[in-house]
């Protein structure tokens, strides 16, 4: 089954990292439209295009200023073709990201409108077109995309006979009847214990609520029926970890892999917000299990689109609680015995048997003391490194105190008096400054362009004494070339005055000192690109992520959306004079560049 032109298999998405690509697949999961903190709307869904035992899936996120401009993703089982979406890597996982201003095109083919392959002739002959919805509305599917959608749906249907995980995907794709989308239409859910739950299935469950969290309009509940499942997150008992935490923030139990996190959407979430508290016993139906971001099983209860007022959670009747309480008592008794064992182990040794426990306690106390000493030594070492760093930072600037950017820009040393007494303003002065700043924007927009080839004539003037062919035959050399927009981190005297900003050039030498990396072809060397991204994260925090979703940069002063920290850097001022019009003051450009600054991880 050949892909349509300009489309990529999901299994080959890594080859398109940081590039725009096209994908086509069957929807295996879809989340409700969500709003970001700054008002944009986005929809999240998963596509799968292979239905063997190693079937490839990928998550896609599409952002728009208004939710009305989002594509109609449809429901599980539909086929979606996406054109021109950027592949990005977040938390070691590849995702398709379409920012608000991207020209991404989506075409959704509802499962119930896709015929069996034997009836595709009318489509292939052009007499008919598959039912579809598109964003933007003027986009139309090609013949190859329609044929591929028919074949893909057929492949997924056949796979459902052999792959249990594909059954939920293809139940609606069979197109036997028009049914409401979402979990309510799926008949694979059943009353189950947590220990029997598997991924990508639907279940009903009776459980106790141990935690409740509110997330905007949705509600997260953590429930347990006191049975264990190895797919769940493992909550460690106090003292099982070497990390000391505030007891008020520690997990209060049950410990182990007994608790399932479930997010409730729509009417179910609203009902839970008003009626559910920690310690309640509840019955939850239509829980769809999935993988969380940390690769643990969690659940979702989606809104029933056919009946948005349907509530899929209620309090348990007393007759349904008896078995659950029996398992809870068994768990409590086990924990009490465990606590007594730990208590006896910490008692003073009175017998030979207790003496062994006492020796173990002394060893633990010794380990704890050694750990505290190492932590103290590490803290002292870090402080020494910080002081050394501050001293090294000060040296290139001549041990000058911090200058704010406003004073650098309006440097009074540019005021000059000629021997004849005439006052003039110099276009620049050669000086170095030390400032405390933070990065609020960068150029070029893509990290891959931070390194430029010296053999590129659009970037570098080729030698006049040799031909381009001779130059191109030499080994390729690369150099760093990018710029940062800095914002003054020191507060202004007038609270109503915004902080000053300055564009600084980062030349090749300065970048090598800053990054401790040599320039290379970042579009080919993916390892170097990831190292660069990691280093720059220390410098500018989540700035690249904000840029990836086409957020208008720079943000307003002191914006809380930007998670970076201020840092000290040295700035050098110099002038560039156009050699063709030498001597004319108006053709002398004042430039700032970063110097003598290193990222210390």
**Of the candidate ranges 104-118, 373-387, 484-498, the one whose mean pLDDT is the lowest:** 373-387
Q: Do domains 10-170 and 184-323 have the same CATH topology?
A: yes
> What is the pLDDT at residue 235?
87
- How does DSSP classify residue 17? B
> What is the pLDDT at residue 99?
86
Tell whether the model's pLDDT for residue 260 goes beyond 90.
yes
> What is the pLDDT at residue 54?
47
DSSP string, 261-289: EEEE-HHHHHHHHHH--TT-EEEEEEEEE
Q: Which residues, at least 6 apart from 94, have a Cβ–Cβ distance to it below 8 Å? A: 13, 14, 17, 58, 87, 88
> What is the pLDDT at residue 356?
53
pTM of the predicted protein model: 0.37
- How does DSSP classify residue 448? G
> What is the pLDDT at residue 580?
52
pLDDT, tens digit, for every residue of 301-329? 988 777 888 889 988 876 678 889 889 98
> What is the pLDDT at residue 97?
92
| Distance from C-alpha of 98 to C-alpha of 119, rounded to nearest angstrom | 35
Tell whether the model's pLDDT for residue 469 goes beyond 50.
no
How many CA atoms are closer than 13 Å to the CA of 216, on its beta-carbon side?
A: 8
Identify the residue whose tokens are 């086409």: 550
> What is the pLDDT at residue 107?
95
Tell whether the model's pLDDT for residue 128 goes beyond 50.
yes
**Of the candidate ranges 42-51, 120-129, 154-163, 582-591, the one whose mean pLDDT is the lowest:** 154-163
State which fold the 405-595 domain adopts.
OB fold (Dihydrolipoamide Acetyltransferase, E2P) (2.40.50)
> What is the pLDDT at residue 455?
80
Q: Is 407 helix (H, G, I), strand (E, B) or coil?
A: helix
362: how many CB neighbours lie within 10 A of its CB? 11
| Distance from C-alpha of 302 to C-alpha of 542, rounded to nearest angstrom | 31
Mean pLDDT of 95-100: 89
CB-CB contact of 397 with 433 (8 Å): yes
441 pLDDT band, cuts 50/70/90, is: very high
CB-CB contact of 558 with 384 (8 Å): no
Query: Dihedral through CA 84, CA 85, CA 86, CA 87, nearest 10?
Result: -120
Mean pLDDT of 44-54: 75
CATH code of the region 10-170: 2.40.50.140
Percent of the chain's residues with pLDDT above 70: 74
Percent of the chain's residues with pLDDT above 90: 24
Mean pLDDT of 229-234: 89
CB-CB contact of 189 with 302 (8 Å): no
Tell whether the model's pLDDT for residue 473 goes beyond 80.
no
C-alpha to C-alpha distances, 590 to 13, 408, 409, 526, nearest whole angstrom: 44, 12, 10, 36
- How does DSSP classify residue 474? S
Mean pLDDT of 269-278: 85
C-alpha to C-alpha distances, 9 to 2, 23, 81, 201, nearest whole angstrom: 10, 7, 12, 26
Question: What is the distance between the terminal CA atoms of the chain, rounded to a whole angstrom?
Answer: 48
Q: Is 106 helix (H, G, I), strand (E, B) or coil?
A: strand
183 or 116, greater pLDDT: 116
Report the DSSP beta bridge partners of residue 62.
43, 98
How many CA atoms are closer than 13 Å to the CA of 517, on its beta-carbon side?
A: 25
* Domain residue ranges of the chain, discontinuous segments joined by +: 10-170, 184-323, 405-595
Q: Where are the alpha helices (DSSP H) in 411-525?
A: 468-473, 508-515
CB-CB contact of 83 with 104 (8 Å): yes
pLDDT, tens digit, for every residue of 357-379? 566 677 777 777 776 766 666 56
Mean pLDDT of 59-74: 88
CB-CB contact of 102 with 85 (8 Å): yes
The CATH architecture assigned to 184-323 reads Beta Barrel (2.40)
């Amino acid at each position: 089954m050949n892909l349509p032109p300009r489309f990529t298999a999901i299994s080959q998405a890594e080859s398109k990292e940081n590039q725009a690509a096209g994908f086509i697949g069957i929807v295996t999961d879809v989340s409700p439209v969500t709003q970001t903190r700054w008002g944009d709307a986005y929809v999240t869904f998963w596509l799968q295009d292979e239905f063997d035992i190693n079937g490839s899936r990928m998550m896609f996120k599409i952002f728009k200023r208004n939710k009305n401009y989002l594509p109609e993703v449809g429901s599980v089982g539909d086929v979606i073709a996406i054109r021109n979406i950027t592949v990005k890597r977040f938390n070691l996982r590849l995702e398709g990201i379409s920012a608000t201003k991207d020209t991404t095109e989506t075409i959704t083919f509802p499962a119930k409108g896709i015929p069996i392959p034997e009836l595709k002739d009318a489509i292939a002959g052009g007499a008919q077109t598959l039912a579809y919805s598109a964003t933007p509305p003027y986009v139309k599917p090609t013949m190859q995309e329609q044929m591929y959608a028919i074949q893909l749906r057929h492949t997924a249907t056949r796979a459902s006979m052999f792959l249990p995980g594909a059954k939920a995907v293809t139940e609606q794709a069979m197109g036997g009847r028009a049914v409401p989308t979402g979990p309510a239409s799926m008949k694979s859910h059943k009353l189950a214990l947590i220990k029997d739950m598997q991924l990508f299935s639907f279940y009903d469950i009776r459980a106790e609520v141990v935690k409740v969290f509110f997330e905007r309009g949705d509600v997260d509940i953590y429930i347990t029926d006191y049975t264990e499942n190895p797919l769940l997150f493992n909550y460690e008992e106090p003292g099982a970890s070497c990390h000391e935490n505030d007891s008020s923030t520690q997990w209060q139990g049950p410990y182990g892999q007994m608790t399932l996190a479930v997010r409730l959407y729509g009417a179910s979430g609203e009902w839970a917000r008003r009626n559910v508290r920690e310690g309640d016993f509840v019955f939850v139906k239509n829980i769809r299990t999935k993988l969380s971001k940390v690769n643990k099983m969690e659940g979702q209860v989606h809104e029933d689109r056919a009946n948005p007022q349907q509530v899929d959670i209620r309090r348990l009747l007393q007759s349904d609680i008896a078995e659950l309480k029996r398992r809870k008592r068994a768990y409590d008794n086990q924990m009490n015995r465990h606590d007594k064992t730990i208590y006896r182990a910490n008692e003073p040794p009175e017998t030979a048997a207790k003496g062994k426990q006492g020796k173990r306690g002394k060893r633990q106390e010794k380990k704890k003391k050694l750990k505290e000493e190492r932590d103290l030594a590490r803290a002292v070492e870090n402080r020494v490194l910080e002081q050394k760093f501050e001293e090294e930072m000060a040296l290139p600037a001549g041990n000058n105190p911090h200058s704010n950017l406003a004073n650098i820009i309006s440097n009074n040393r540019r005021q000059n008096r000629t021997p004849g007494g005439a006052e003039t303003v110099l276009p620049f002065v050669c000086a170095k400054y030390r400032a405390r700043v933070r990065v609020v924007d960068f150029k070029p927009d893509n990290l891959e362009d931070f390194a430029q080839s010296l053999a590129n004539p659009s970037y570098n003037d080729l030698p006049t004494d040799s031909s381009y062919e001779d130059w191109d035959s030499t080994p390729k050399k690369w150099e760093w070339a990018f710029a940062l927009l800095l914002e003054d981190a020191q507060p202004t005297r007038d609270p109503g005055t915004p902080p000053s900003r300055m564009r600084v050039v980062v030349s090749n030498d300065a970048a090598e000192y800053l990054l401790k990396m040599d320039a290379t072809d970042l579009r080919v060397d993916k390892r170097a690109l990831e190292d660069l991204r990691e280093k720059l994260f220390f410098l500018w925090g989540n700035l690249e992520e904000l840029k990836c979703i086409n957020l208008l940069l720079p943000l307003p002063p002191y914006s809380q959306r930007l998670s970076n920290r201020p840092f000290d850097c040295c700035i050098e001022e110099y002038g560039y004079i156009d050699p063709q019009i030498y001597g004319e003051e108006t053709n002398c450009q004042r430039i700032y560049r970063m110097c003598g600054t290193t990222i210390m991880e």
